[in-house]
Structure 1
Amino acid sequence: MDLHTVTEVISPAAPGAWRPGDAWLGGGTALFGEPRPHLRRLLDLTAAGWPPLTFSDDGVDVAATCTIADLAEGLSRHGIVRQCCHAFLASFKIWNVATVGGNLCAALPAGPMISLSVALDGTLSLVAADGAVRRVPAAEFVTGEGTTVLRDGEFLRSIHLPSAALGARTAYRRGSLHRHGRSAVLLIGRAEPAGGISLTVTAATRRPHVLRFAEPPHADDVAAALDRIPAEQYVDDVHGRPVWRRHLTRHYAEQIRAELVA
């Protein structure tokens, strides 16, 4: 979709260039997906030249401008990364353009990069218009459908995924109304070193929910934790009704619990 009100593209985006009516531009697959009549300029982050992936002893930093193709290739040895990349159900053309940061900032419930970042205890680096940096847990970044903690002029610089979480045993379940449909439910479980598990609920709910169990949980423990997710948190749209999403969430959660506890 053309953004007819945009009159200028700043590339590369200069520090401190942001002003009302601007939007940060990554891959653009989400930005160009719907009318945005309030926009006047685009600030191009892709021209900044950030390396897609930066490895260190304590994990990997994923640039916000890292494409899905680069992520899938660079972290291909981690099954959960491959699974979340394929949750896009997108062609290679989308994989080579869509960015990890763009998927996070779009804050759609079905965003698989949200699921991945939250499930792996990611930490997001956010840069303000004046250059100040703050770090936010991935689980706290998305606050609702299409809303995040980003402030005016702030952009997402990178996502740090710790090595301990990347190397952990995981279990993945995804459901939709049809084979190539948008994710209606996406759950990721992760085994913890002390024997417990963490369970991340996304796609079914308006924002991510993380359930943590210090010890191997019983089925009743998981069911009780899921019951604490408010009913109004479950998404209601053409991709699935809340009662169905909630049922499938409970069904997949029990499968994940049994798999990881075993």
Structure 2
Amino acid sequence: MDLNTVTAIRDPRRPGAWRPGDAWLAGGTYLFSEPQPYLRRLVDLSRFGWPSVTGHGDGSLELAATCTIAELSRFAAGHGPAVAPLVEQCCRAFLASFKIWNLATVGGNLCNALPAGPMISLTAALDGVCLLRAQDGTERRVPAAAFVTGAGRNVLADGELLRSVTLPAAALGRRTAFRQASLHGLGRSGVLLIGTLGSTFTLTITAATTRPFVLTFPRVPDADGLRTAIEAAVGDGDWFDDIHGLPAWRRHMTFRLAGEIREDLA
């Protein structure tokens, strides 16, 4: 897709005011996938040269917003923590070509805030914390589970950028279980659930809902307790409705797959 309304690309390392029609450019796989008639200028995040994955002394991992899906997959395969299989499962959930894998970014997937975004699922399930940076340089941190507020909506203020997502060491050592469902063999995720088990049992519900829902229990619940908790947390208006699945189907599959995850981790 040609963005024929864009007149300039700005280097963010050089001072410059944020103005209407600006957009952050990371991989560009969404920006260039459909018309963006409101855009006038792209601000290229790749100019920062952020390292894709950074390990810290406390055992946590920091994923740069510009880390590509291919880079994340390679890191998990070669140097990954106990949750490496989960990382790969979420990367594969893109069902994307190698071209997209090498351009699409962790940050872009989060910021687009599409319910089926697997990086939303991964970072929410692993207690990720998003580092946000405003135009004046001030920073704030937001849990990944709270970063997406609805289908296509997030907490970013005008001109604010997502710098990175940090995954704490405690989350990286958990046992995990992954379930995904789609209406088609190669279709977009209609339901994506992740269970983790460490000092607590956590179920993260995404794709089926307009935003992530993270349910935490002191131990693996019984079947009735898990179902009751899901019913209490996810309201009727929270189930996503589009061509990739009706709310009733997404709800049914959520209960079914949640039960499978509970059995796996019990």
TM range (shorter): over 0.9
Alignment map for 1:54-203 (pairs within 5 Å):
54-58=54-58, 59-76=60-77, 77=80, 78-193=84-199, 196-203=200-207
Say whether residues 1:207 and 2:211 are aligned partners: yes
Instruction: Answer whether contact 2:194 2:203 (CA < 8 A) is retained.
Output: yes
TM-score, length-scaled by structure 1: 0.96
Equivalent residue of 1:33, what SS?
coil
CA distance in 2, matches of 1:222, 1:99: 33
Say whether residues 1:233 and 2:259 are aligned partners: no
TM-score, length-scaled by structure 2: 0.95
Gaps of 5+ in 2: none
Equivalent residue of 1:32, what SS?
coil
Query: Offset at 1:255?
Result: 0.5
Instruction: Answer whether contact 1:9 1:42 (CA < 8 A) is retained.
Output: yes
> Cα–Cα, structure 1 residues 23 and 34, in superposed 2: closer, same or farther, change >3 Å?
same
RMSD over aligned CA atoms reads 1.1
Provide runs of 4+ in structure 1 moved above 4 Å.
none
Percent identical residues: 59
Letter in 2 for 1:239: H
Query: Offset at 1:2?
Result: 1.7
> Cα–Cα, structure 1 residues 13 and 182, in superposed 2: closer, same or farther, change >3 Å?
farther
Instruction: Answer whether contact 2:173 2:198 (CA < 8 A) is retained.
Output: no
Query: Aligned residue for 2:23?
Result: 23
Instruction: Answer whether contact 1:68 1:99 (CA < 8 A) is retained.
Output: yes
What's the CA shift string for 1:208-259, capped at 9, x where partnerless?
0001111221111110011121111111111111100000000000110111
Q: Aligned residue pairs: how many?
A: 259
Instruction: Answer whether contact 1:127 1:156 (CA < 8 A) is retained.
Output: yes
CA distance in 2, matches of 1:126, 1:61: 13
Gaps of 5+ in 1: none
Query: Offset at 1:15?
Result: 4.9
Query: Offset at 1:57?
Result: 2.8
Query: Aligned residue for 1:53?
Result: 53
CA distance in 1, matches of 2:16, 2:220: 49
